Amino acid sequence: MPTPAYSLASWRAYGGAILIVALTTALNAALSRWLSLTDLAMIYLLSVVIIAAYCPLATSGVGAMLSFAAFDFVFVPPVYTWRFDKDEHFMTALVLLAVGVFTSVLAARMRKTMAAATAAAVLASDEKLRNSLLASLSHDLRTPLSIIAGSASTLRENRARLTADEQDQLLAVIFEQSRTMSRDVSDLLEMTRLHAGPVRLNRQWYPLEELIGAALARCKLQLAGHRLSIDIPSDTPMVEVDGVLLEKLLVNLLENAAKYTPPGSQVHISVTHSSRAIDVSIEDDGPGLPVGLELQLFEKFARAQTEGPVPGSGLGLSICRAIAQLHDMTLTAGNRPERGARFQLSIPYRAPPKADAETE
Amino acid sequence: MASGVKPAVLIVEDEPQMRNLLRLTLESNGMRCLEAMTAREAISKIRNQLPDLVIADLGLPDSDGLNVIRAVRANSAVPIIVLSARSQESDKIDALDAGADDYVTKPFSAGELLARLRVGLRHGSHRTAGATDEAFAVGDLNVDLLRRQITVRANAVHLTPIEYRLMVCLIGKAGQVVTHNELLKAGWGTAKLDQQHYLRIFMAALRRKIERDPTQPEYLLTETGIGYRLWSE
What pLDDT, in 10s, does the model give residues B97-114? 999 999 998 888 888 899
Residue numbers in B near A210 (CB within 8 A):
200, 203-204, 222
Query: Where are any strands of DSSP class E within A151-219?
Result: 203-206
Distance CA A23, CA B194 (A): 64
Rounded to a whole number of angstroms, the distance from the CA of B222 to the nearest CA of chain A is 6
Residue A353 lies in a domain: no
Q: Do A112 and A208 share a domain, yes or no?
A: no
Q: Do A209 and A185 share a domain, yes or no?
A: no
Residue A52 lies in a domain: yes
Residues A306-322 have a mean pLDDT of 68
Q: Do A8 and A150 share a domain, yes or no?
A: yes
- Among A197, A227, A254, give the residue marking a domain's end: A197
Rounded to a whole number of angstroms, the distance from the CA of A5 to the nearest CA of chain B is 39
Query: Where are any strands of DSSP class E within chain A?
Result: 203-206, 227-231, 239-242, 266-273, 277-284, 330-335, 341-348
Q: B8-124 is classed in which CATH architecture?
A: 3-Layer(aba) Sandwich (3.40)
Contact (CB<8Å) B200/A207: yes
Does pLDDT of A360 surpass 80? no
Average pLDDT, rounded, for chain B: 90
Does pLDDT of A285 surpass 90? yes
Residue A357 lies in a domain: no
Residue B223 main-chain phi, psi, to 5 deg: -115, 90
Q: Do A209 and A157 share a domain, yes or no?
A: no
CB A250 within 8 A of CB B222: no
A219, A229, A238, A358: best mutation site toward chain B, by most B Cβ within 10 Å? Answer: A358
Q: B135-230 is classed in which CATH architecture?
A: Orthogonal Bundle (1.10)
CB A202 within 8 A of CB A241: no
Burial of B147 (0-12, 13-18, 19+ CB in 10 A): exposed
Contact (CB<8Å) A213/B222: yes
Indicate the Cα dihedral angle A74, A75, A81, A82, nearest 10°.
Answer: -100
Does pLDDT of A339 surpass 70? yes
Domain(s) of CATH 1.10.10.10: residues in chain B: 135-230
Contact (CB<8Å) B222/A217: yes
Number of compact structural domains in chain A: 2
**pLDDT for A9:** 60
Distance CA A96, CA A49 (A): 11
Q: Do A77 and A168 share a domain, yes or no?
A: yes
**pLDDT for B1:** 47
Domain limits for position A186: 1-197
Residue numbers in A near B215 (CB within 8 A):
209, 212-213, 216, 230, 232
Contact (CB<8Å) B197/A206: yes
Q: Does B225 touch chain A (CB under 8 A)?
A: yes
Query: Percent of chain A at pLDDT above 90?
Result: 32
Q: At A198, is the secondary structure helix, strand, or coil?
A: coil
- Among A197, A213, A246, give the residue marking a domain's end: A197
Q: Do A256 and A169 share a domain, yes or no?
A: no
Residue A356 lies in a domain: no
Question: Which residues sit opposite A290 in a β-bridge?
Answer: none
Q: Do A128 and A2 share a domain, yes or no?
A: yes
Residue of chain B nearest A216, judged by CA positions = B216
Residue that wins the pLDDT comparison between A138 and B195: B195
Q: Do A84 and A176 share a domain, yes or no?
A: yes
Q: How confident is the model at residue B161 (pLDDT cuts 50, 70, 90)?
A: very high
Residue of chain A nearest B226, judged by CA positions = A244
B48-98 confidence digits (pLDDT tens): 999 999 999 988 889 888 999 999 999 899 999 998 776 678 889 999 999
Residue that wins the pLDDT comparison between A246 and A32: A246
Residue of chain B nearest A209, judged by CA positions = B215
Distance CA B143, CA A48 (A): 89
A150-166 confidence digits (pLDDT tens): 899 899 998 889 999 99
Contact (CB<8Å) A355/B201: yes
Phi-psi label, residue B4: left if phi above 0, alpha if psi -120 to 50, beta otherwise: left
Query: Where are any strands of DSSP class E within A34-94?
Result: none
Neighbours of B43 (CB within 10 A): 19
Q: Do A224 and A343 share a domain, yes or no?
A: yes
A190, A210, A227: best mutation site toward chain B, by most B Cβ within 10 Å? Answer: A210
Q: Do A218 and A192 share a domain, yes or no?
A: no
Nearest beta carbon to residue B215 from set A175, A232, A243: A232
Residue numbers in A near B160 (CB within 8 A):
358
Q: Do A184 and A324 share a domain, yes or no?
A: no
Residue numbers in B near A251 (CB within 8 A):
none
Contact (CB<8Å) A210/B89: no
Burial of A236 (0-12, 13-18, 19+ CB in 10 A): middle
Residue A32 lies in a domain: yes
Residue of chain A nearest B187, judged by CA positions = A360
Nearest beta carbon to residue A205 from set B197, B222, B223: B197
Residues B178-200 have a mean pLDDT of 90
Residue A355 lies in a domain: no
Q: How confident is the model at residue A2 (pLDDT cuts 50, 70, 90)?
A: very low
Q: Does B194 touch chain A (CB under 8 A)?
A: no
Q: How confident is the model at residue B130 (pLDDT cuts 50, 70, 90)?
A: low
Does pLDDT of A306 surpass 70? no
Q: Which amino acid is at A261?
A: T
Residue numbers in A near B214 (CB within 8 A):
209, 213
Q: Does B212 touch chain A (CB under 8 A)?
A: no
Residue numbers in B near A205 (CB within 8 A):
196-197, 200
Contact (CB<8Å) B216/A205: no
Distance CA A222, CA A311 (A): 13
Contact (CB<8Å) B224/A207: no
CB neighbours of A301 closer than 8 A, spacing ≥ 6? A132, A133, A136, A313, A314, A315, A318
ipTM: 0.88
Residue numbers in B near A213 (CB within 8 A):
214-217, 222
Contact (CB<8Å) B204/A207: yes
CB neighbours of A172 closer than 8 A, spacing ≥ 6? none
A206-242 confidence digits (pLDDT tens): 999 999 999 999 999 889 999 999 999 999 999 999 9
Average pLDDT, rounded, for chain A: 83
Residue A358 lies in a domain: no
Q: Whose CA is closest to A232, among A220, A219, A221, A216? A: A216
Burial of A306 (0-12, 13-18, 19+ CB in 10 A): exposed
Q: Do A222 and A136 share a domain, yes or no?
A: no
- Among A197, A223, A258, give the residue marking a domain's end: A197
Domain harbouring A253, CATH code: 3.30.565.10
Nearest beta carbon to residue B161 from set A189, A204, A360: A360
DSSP class per residue in B38-96: SHHHHHHHHHHH--SEEEEESB-SSSBHHHHHHHHHTT----EEEEES---HHHHHHHH
Contact (CB<8Å) B203/A210: yes
Q: Does B189 touch chain A (CB under 8 A)?
A: no
Residue A359 lies in a domain: no
Does pLDDT of A5 surpass 90? no
Residue that wins the pLDDT comparison between A190 and A155: A155
DSSP-assigned letter for residue B130: T
